[in-house]
Amino acid sequence: MSETKKYSLAEVKAHNDNNSSWVVINNNVYDVTPFLNEHPGGEEVLLEQAGRDASDPFEDVGHSSDARELMAKYKIGELVESERKQVKEKIPDWSSGNETATTDSTLKSWVIPIILAIIATIVYRFYFLS
Ligand code: HEM
């Protein structure tokens, strides 16, 4: 088994035209030169991103799982450890802090008025109906 090759952003940057086009997507390095003509999104968009980190534009397009499988064919290595960044794949994260906070405040906005209504009913019955 061969070890995964590591590249720096500077090395990737040198491959930025149609003779040699490399892109970085989610910390992986791809040589998309043979794919330029075949890319369903056109070669223009790939050439625009050639030599750079194209993770955000790639994710913004919302590529299919087929596209993600196809990528493996063009992977030549990974970004060096020191230049890696956090991967933001567009998959909803239900366990994120924000979601919990929203659920929490929704719960409070229901529970508090209901408790107040119950107290008001008890007070009303106690004072006015006795
Ligand atoms: C190895 C890298 C890539 C692979 C294998 C790939 C593959 C594909 C495939 C298979 C499609 C057809 C639609 C789908 O299945 O999602 C597609 C569409 C597209 N791709 Fe890529 N792509 C790559 C990189 C990029 C990058 C870096 C961009 C930069 C913006 C890009 C932009 C687009 C656009 C604009 C479309 C058209 C979307 C549409 O028509 O709705 N792709 N790509």
**For the CA atoms of 80, 52, 62, 36, what is the dihedral angle to 10 degrees?**
-110
Number of H helices, E strands in the chain: 5, 5
Instruction: Output the 3-class SS for 55-68.
Output: HHHHHHHCCCHHHH
pLDDT given at position 4: 92
pLDDT tens, residue by residue, 52-78:
999 999 999 999 999 999 999 999 999
Residue 77's SS3 state is strand
Written as tens digits, the pLDDT of the chain (130 aa) is: 568 999 999 999 999 999 999 999 999 999 999 999 999 999 999 999 999 999 999 999 999 999 999 999 999 999 999 999 988 766 555 555 555 555 566 667 778 889 999 999 999 888 877 6
Q: What is the distance between the alpha carbons of residues 37 and 103, in angstroms, rounded to a whole number? A: 47
Q: How far is the centre of ligand 1, averaged over its atoms, from the C-alpha of 59 (Å)?
A: 9
List the alpha helices (DSSP H) in the chain: 9-13, 43-49, 55-61, 65-71, 97-128
DSSP bridge partners of 28: 25, 78
Q: What is the distance between the alpha carbons of residues 16 and 52, in angstroms, rounded to a whole number? A: 8
Pocket residue to mutate for ligand 1, from 37, 56, 63, most atoms within 8 A of Cβ: 63
